Chains A and B, each alone.
Chain A
Amino acid sequence: MATVHNWQLGRKMDYPYLDSRPKKQFTAVFNTNRCIACQTCTMADKSTWTYSRGQEYMWWNNVETKPYGGYPQFWDQKILQILSDEGNNPMEWFTSSEDKDDKKAPYGYYGGDTIFELAKTKDLNQVAVGYIPEDKEWRFPNIYEDTAVSKKTNIETEPVKEYSQLPAHDRWFFYLQRICNHCTYPACVAACPRRAIYKRKEDGIVLIDQKRCRGYRKCVEQCPYKKPMYRGETRISEKCIACYPRVEGKDPVTKGRRMEARCMSACVGKIRLNGMLKGDPDNPDPKNPMDFLIRIQKVALPLYPQFGTEPNIYYIPPRWVPRAYLRQMFGPGVDEAIEKYSAPSREMLAVFQLFRTTQTMISRFEIEYGKKVYETRTNGKKFEVFDDTVIGYAEDDTELVRIKVEEPTWESSDKRMITY
């Protein structure tokens, strides 16, 4: 075992391989607040990569209703249960100012065991703790769709509450969009006894070599996000490939420039922004929209950072969900992220406009400042909106998109109101 630094946990941890960060990292920001679970992403992925025999149950992209839903069923509860029941240390975060470090530990310090550490200290027969889901757990990609949690009310003694209020709703659910996290320390890579899985140095995409794979299913067992899947038809395993030909710029539409993955560019709700994180996490680029949202503003958070794989798909947490649940799912950065998202800074509001404006990856943004158009109070503080213009550039500095914060409107003349 080697020792590597996991910035999401704010500490060093055990991993079977040496630290070797990619030059750039495939990443995305998913704004859970905006998702309507239309499953267009799911179908875009399905119709591109997993429409063949033996892939019927494979949903490399899926959207599930939390807290009850999950694909495979209860995947996250099961891993959390293992970590909680078997772990040597409580799954605790330390978030005082001493435990935080803007570069090395932006969310604080995690004291619990990661999936790798637990397997090692318990001397288990695995590199990372995990399990292989049974057939029945793969049966319903969207089980418990739209099923909400509700607070129990004794109707005899207290009135039934009809309405919920922020900061946390009494009745709640939200949609969680899931693809392979293309982790910095992938459990599938660690688990594979024959190194058939690799993480690409150029873009951090994690792939299963279909020539090397022999269908041992250790990746299926040990990936905590359950994204490698065994394909019975070919007797070997497959996983999300981050649409790597598009990311490489092989699609002629973007003229050789990096293109967003299918699930990202198909997003109807404009919740997804796909791009490349700077390889060096300690020196984020303030002009790269991904670095800006994830590392500088910390408004987008990793999914279950406590697993220890340093996942690279980041989520803007849903505002209405009880914080304890969100902290378990996205770590201790939740409160800061929701506060920032609820009243975004001038720059952040501009960057939010870039979501789904182009399918070419935006690697840099510039803001041209405009006049103030709106003022209100939110969370007891003054909040101003400015009609700034945000410009997105490709890696080769071509201007891709130019969009204003205020949506341009046009009023038709009164005469148009005359109906016949």
Chain B
Amino acid sequence: MLKKVLWKSVVLVSVVVAILFYFNNRTLSQGSEEPVSKEENIPTKELLTVKYLPLETKYVDKAFEQVDPLNIILQKQDKAIPHGGGSIKEIEIRGFHNGETIFFRLAWDDATNDERAIKPQQYRDAVAMMFPLDIVTISPETPFSPRMGDRAKPVNLWHWKADWEKEMHLAGGYEHIEDEYLNMFDDFASNPHPVKGHSDLYASASLVSGGRASGTLLAKPDRGRSVEDLNAIGFGTLTSQVHQDVKGKGDWADEKWSVVIYRPLITPDKNDVQFVPGMGTFFNVAVWNGAQGDINGQKSISIRWRPLKIERVKYQE
């Protein structure tokens, strides 16, 4: 009797294992991602040193002149559908910290300033930094996917958006549909029923208005920030954090974006990467060129992890 039960369970377990093995990465997932090459998992030798500069926040711009840049060659994202990007070839990145806050400045060439995503065919410029969430060693023996992390290896992402930047400085903190479609309500200046007449309807509509009601940051006026703090555990898992800790400021001039992203070195949020002076971590960057229709996986990426070294705090006598 016992033998029979044992035999049955052995057969059952082996069938289940066989099924799991067969279907693993085959049909249960979307399966459109190509496997990542081993080289990609190895960090580069070139590293970014985040210098310690005991400065107040208002001297940020000057501080960046005192640190060495790291130039990173970017390439098209071609592993997960939708592929795309590649129009931004290179990005320059600098970093420093003042013992409390860590600052990064990302600068890249972009002939157009795309700071709106209202029309169905309109896409924003954006830049993102990605860090492993925990303290990790990345080597050929201990690989870490540089593409959005994976289930056992979560990542923390900071995503700066050009439209959020613009909205941050606007009264009301949001661009509305009529900012893109200027004459959508009034064909003529003499319209006796201006849109103001419907303001009550608009105000009452917020609860049934999709994104606004769901509370997504994308649809929220007055966010007070231009950088979104996110986590991911692989393709398609990007999720906005409950506690938003990252801030930033972007400027577009002379066909060039220059974006400063900053955050306290240490936060109380367990979903945030923590920067301990004297230690290091790794990072990756991605740039979206709105004019080229970049969004989602359509982006220019750095691929391999870059080591990040955070200088010790030097105490002055």
Total A-B residue contacts, Cβ distance less than 8 Å:
116
Min C-beta distance of A229 to chain B, whole Å: 8
- Bound-state CA distance A83–B216 (Å) is 37
Contacts A125-B82, A211-B216 given; indicate if A16 touches B32 (C-beta within 8 A).
Answer: yes
- The answer to whether B121 and A211 have CB atoms under 8 Å apart is no
- Bound-state CA distance A132–B82 (Å) is 14
- The answer to whether B176 and A53 have CB atoms under 8 Å apart is yes
- Bound-state CA distance A17–B29 (Å) is 7
- The answer to whether A235 and B211 have CB atoms under 8 Å apart is yes
Contact with A along B191-210 (1 / 0, CB 8 A): 00000000001100100111
- Bound-state CA distance A210–B214 (Å) is 6
- The answer to whether B201 and A16 have CB atoms under 8 Å apart is no
Any B CB within 8 A of the CB of A215: yes
- The answer to whether B210 and A126 have CB atoms under 8 Å apart is no
- Bound-state CA distance A310–B122 (Å) is 31
From B80, B119, B201, B211, contact of A51 by CB (8 A): B201
- The answer to whether B238 and A133 have CB atoms under 8 Å apart is no
B209: chain A residues within 8 A (beta carbon): 52-55, 233-234
- The answer to whether A125 and B216 have CB atoms under 8 Å apart is no
- The answer to whether B216 and A213 have CB atoms under 8 Å apart is yes
Any B CB within 8 A of the CB of A174: no
Min C-beta distance of B202 to chain A, whole Å: 6
B32: chain A residues within 8 A (beta carbon): 1, 16, 127
- The answer to whether B236 and A211 have CB atoms under 8 Å apart is no
- The answer to whether B210 and A234 have CB atoms under 8 Å apart is yes
Interface size on B, residues (CB 8 A): 42
Interface stretch among A153-161, A164-172, A216-224, A382-390?
A216-224
Contact with B along A28-66 (1 / 0, CB 8 A): 000000000000000000000101111110000000000
Min C-beta distance of A237 to chain B, whole Å: 9
- The answer to whether B202 and A193 have CB atoms under 8 Å apart is no
B27: chain A residues within 8 A (beta carbon): 1-2, 18
Any B CB within 8 A of the CB of A315: no
B83: chain A residues within 8 A (beta carbon): 125
- The answer to whether B120 and A132 have CB atoms under 8 Å apart is yes
From B184, B213, B237, contact of A210 by CB (8 A): B213
Contacts A125-B83, A232-B118 given; indicate if A52 touches B31 (C-beta within 8 A).
Answer: no
A interface, over-half SS: loop
B interface, over-half SS: loop
Contact with A along B158-190 (1 / 0, CB 8 A): 000001000000000000110010001000000
Any B CB within 8 A of the CB of A414: no
- Bound-state CA distance A121–B238 (Å) is 29
Q: Which residues B103-135 have CB closer than 8 A to chain A?
A: 117-122
Min C-beta distance of B167 to chain A, whole Å: 11
Contact with A along B77-93 (1 / 0, CB 8 A): 00011111000000000
- Bound-state CA distance A211–B214 (Å) is 6
- Bound-state CA distance A18–B82 (Å) is 21
Q: Which of B81, B118, B184 has the most CB of A within 10 A?
A: B81
Contact with A along B203-235 (1 / 0, CB 8 A): 001001111111110110000000000000001
Any A CB within 8 A of the CB of B6: no
- The answer to whether B211 and A213 have CB atoms under 8 Å apart is yes
- Bound-state CA distance A216–B176 (Å) is 19
- The answer to whether B84 and A125 have CB atoms under 8 Å apart is yes
B120: chain A residues within 8 A (beta carbon): 132-135, 138, 217, 220, 229-230, 232
A56: chain B residues within 8 A (beta carbon): 177, 184
Any A CB within 8 A of the CB of B296: yes
- The answer to whether B295 and A216 have CB atoms under 8 Å apart is yes
- The answer to whether A216 and B216 have CB atoms under 8 Å apart is no
A193: chain B residues within 8 A (beta carbon): 80-82, 235-236, 296-297
- The answer to whether B81 and A125 have CB atoms under 8 Å apart is yes
- Bound-state CA distance A234–B210 (Å) is 8
A2: chain B residues within 8 A (beta carbon): 27
Contact with B along A1-34 (1 / 0, CB 8 A): 1100000000000001110000000000000000
From B117, B202, B238, B295, contact of A52 by CB (8 A): B202
Min C-beta distance of B16 to chain A, whole Å: 17
A17: chain B residues within 8 A (beta carbon): 30
- The answer to whether A232 and B180 have CB atoms under 8 Å apart is yes
Any B CB within 8 A of the CB of A195: yes
B152: chain A residues within 8 A (beta carbon): none
From A125, A194, A229, A235, contact of B236 by CB (8 A): A194
Q: List 17 A-B contacts (CB under 8 A).
A: A53-B176, A127-B32, A135-B119, A193-B81, A193-B236, A194-B236, A194-B238, A210-B211, A210-B216, A211-B214, A215-B218, A229-B120, A232-B118, A232-B120, A234-B216, A235-B117, A236-B210
Taking beta carbons and an 8 Å cutoff, which residues of A are in contact with B? 1-2, 16-18, 49, 51-56, 125-127, 132-135, 138, 193-195, 210-211, 213-218, 220, 229-236, 238
